[in-house]
A and B are shown apart, each in its own frame.
Chain A
């Protein structure tokens, strides 16, 4: 079986090496990041982060057959599973975080990590753990705050200029991946929302959720912010 598997991998890699210049022009790429937070009145809650590369799965699958592209090392499925497992382990050992779970779908290239948090500072720990582990800072420097007596939920967002610098270094074909990429944040509350400060935010019909959907390219170039101040009744 090992021989069969190796032969198959070698053959696939050879095909991709020959066809990659053509495929990279033909296949498009884009992705979605969804940050879904449910907040209870006592500051506890649950969070789910989703990375969906399904729309680009052909491109991702072809890239993942290679060891590196444009000087960037391409992680193998095994490495990604290991990294996600490490995050899950770290979170499980983090005070204030519980019920940690994850799912990885390598047919559609969708990754999900979710957990419960006992207080808002634990939510901040969750976000920083993900950023650190995956060495990415698409959502800038994020900090959540919840002032329970005043019923104000705040997301502070500091633009990270290094992200733009990293983006500028990419070749035009790789940059194209960000053209149709979106960051969606959804915050859910038990009580109705009175207002949301971010102009890109929309309050749901039942008034208990706020969604902000922005283009990742706009985030990278600091044209838009994820910062928000939500007042709850």
Chain B
């Protein structure tokens, strides 16, 4: 990692988490696709400035920064950055570049400037009233004035250079033909290897390439860019005919065919890379100049931020149009359908998942750390989702929740509404993905699905609510085959046993028409795949692991458990009601809820000596004092879908952030001292 990168990293780390300055927020452009606002003032309120200054982490960061800059620093405040204000980081993507921008408020520009004095990996200059550094590769720029540090890092979208038009415009060379490959296969390496040792002269091809390609090939391509930028690039032009000469006359005659092909390929690759580098430097300089000279006053983000400002948040992430993000980063990467590589019948930009903007808040609420997210949905999608999530959990489920449980997950959806939404959802996706005749067939298929699937009938069989509870961990003896050897190393198979630890669970879902399950289980009995004991069915085919369930159908609920006793208690009406559980009360309020009781889970596993690996034991040791982790899997408010992850930390510190900070301190001290 070069010094400039370290400087940026340390600057960002020192920012930790932070707030809002109206001046900086106005710098965020309309095309910002995601913005992180870091409210470091709030973070320092929670941790305490003096506590941070006395911390090991503070010393560690200062030492690293001093090593890199040769500047004496006594506190983080000597960096000149104003940690009481909000910093902003945003990303902008185009079809050719992704840019990450950081805007940090400054309290003392002179102190910040000192940090860069001994910097050797960048070119220093000024831009107007701002001090300026650009790294040699040209992808990272830093500038600062009296109030603000501007940081830009750019990265090329490789896909952009797949376009023939782009490659031609930028002067890319074509890679050598595969013909030379064919020659390799017929080459007699056995004979050649001995000849090679004596005959091959030592030529450092890399050196040759470097001397030819050198630093980026500016003049060749610079006429395509802004001429103002050319002046800043002091590099030699590559001489193409020299490259040709080297490949044709020198390399191919000296080296056997494989080397010739690979070297030719490398020459072209290096040449094209140098073009990319020069292009990136020119483009990123334009972007940075635009940032420094911008006078944005309002933007979508600014309006959204004002409306959704959360004073308790340590940091906030805003994502503009999740639909685009989902489409570009998830869908594209999953299918590998990228830009010009997409088939003609696909119009990917029309893909619509029904998502709009998303906001994620990182909040500290007493001893609980919360990650709260909300995503705006398009009106039609919101209407479907509201109907799907309006259903409440079967009240009979609550009695299966106990404060001692290791964890549970509860889902409550309306199956009928969900099935109604499915064709609409896929129609929206495929309607964007494919066009023309193919779309007509898919549209027909979704209509047929809608027609043929009896949503009401399915919803009677599986209503859509379900609860899965991990009660505890139990030990059991398990047999396995090993070998016993005699004195002559003949061996025979012997059966041995070992102790294994497994989770004990009970799961359930509601059904108004469970007869279909009973019919299936009875068919299984005829084929010796299942058997029944009273009301409880057992799957008799291979049950190696020990988590395969016993099944009970009782009073409109299908129960599954790997502990027959739990189901027998239900049949005999001995199942203990535990409706007073605090967690059951939470479930009543929110039907889509997940919970892990970290403390109980670790105690249970440690008690049985069940943690199998060193890493799992270390992990358990770090988290053994955590309380509960809750995941609110989602509910609708208006047209917005809300969800929340909450981590309850021990009450031994003033607040959750302080506890987390102390925990990190301990880990770091173990690591570095």
Contact = CB atoms under 8 A, between A and B. Distances in A.
A61 B488 contact: no
A209 B488 contact: yes
Given A32-B483, A172-B615, A176-B613, A8 B503 contact: no
B503 A22 contact: yes
A210 B487 CA distance: 11
Given A27-B612, A108-B480, A15 B503 contact: no
A203 B245 CA distance: 66
Contacts of B59: none
Given A19-B547, A22-B503, A27-B500, A186 B489 contact: yes
B527 interface: yes
Interface string B554-588: 00000010000000000000000000000000000
Contact of A173 (B544, B548, B615): B615
Contact of B488 (A58, A107, A176, A204): A204
Interface in A24-45: 25-28, 32, 34
A152 interface: no
B346 interface: no
A206 interface: yes
Interface string B464-484: 000010100100001011110
B613 A54 contact: no
B623 to A, nearest CB: 12
B157 to A, nearest CB: 24
Interface in A168-182: 172-173, 176
A190 interface: no
A83 B136 CA distance: 53
Contact of B481 (A110, A173, A206): A110
A208 B549 contact: no
Interface in A89-123: 106-108, 110
Interface string B91-110: 00000000000000000000
A57 B489 contact: no
A3 B520 contact: yes
B544 A61 contact: yes
A25 to B, nearest CB: 5
A18 B409 contact: yes
Given A7-B520, A26-B610, A58 B546 contact: yes
A227 B503 CA distance: 44
B113 interface: no
B489 A19 contact: no
Contact of B485 (A27, A62, A211): A211
Interface string A104-144: 00111010000000000000000000000000000000000
A25 B605 contact: yes
Contact of B487 (A16, A188, A206): A206
Nearest to B498: A55
Nearest to B473: A26
Interface string B487-529: 1110100000010111101010000000000001001100101
B452 interface: no
A18 B468 contact: yes
A23 interface: yes
Contacts of A3: 520
Interface string A155-173: 0000000000000000011
Contacts of A176: 612-615
B335 interface: no
B616 interface: yes
A204 B502 CA distance: 41
Contacts of A197: none
B1 interface: no
B524 A22 contact: no
Contacts of B611: 25-26
Contact of A26 (B541, B548, B612): B612
A12 interface: yes
Contacts of B224: none
B541 A8 contact: yes
Nearest to B542: A107
Contacts of A7: 520
B545 interface: yes
A4 B537 CA distance: 14
Contact of A54 (B473, B482, B501): B482
A18 B488 CA distance: 48
A200 interface: no
B539 interface: yes
A28 B487 contact: no
A11 interface: yes
Given A4-B520, A8-B541, A61-B544, A25 B478 contact: no
A92 to B, nearest CB: 26
A7 B390 CA distance: 28
Contacts of B547: 15-16, 19, 23, 62
A24 to B, nearest CB: 8
B616 A173 contact: yes
Contact of A52 (B481, B488, B539, B615): B481
Interface string A203-225: 01110111100000000000000
A208 B489 CA distance: 9
Contacts of B473: 26
Given A15-B560, A27-B502, 9 more contacts: A18-B468, A26-B500, A26-B502, A34-B483, A34-B491, A52-B481, A61-B542, A61-B544, A176-B613
18 contacts: A4-B527, A11-B549, A11-B560, A15-B548, A26-B501, A26-B503, A27-B500, A52-B483, A54-B480, A55-B482, A57-B478, A58-B546, A172-B614, A173-B613, A173-B616, A176-B613, A176-B614, A188-B489
Interface of B: 409, 468, 470, 473, 478, 480-483, 485, 487-489, 491, 498, 500-503, 505, 507, 520, 523-524, 527, 529, 539, 541-542, 544-549, 560, 605, 610-616
Q: Which 10 A-B pairs have the closest CB atoms?
A: A205-B487, A61-B544, A172-B615, A54-B481, A54-B480, A209-B489, A176-B613, A204-B488, A28-B612, A211-B489
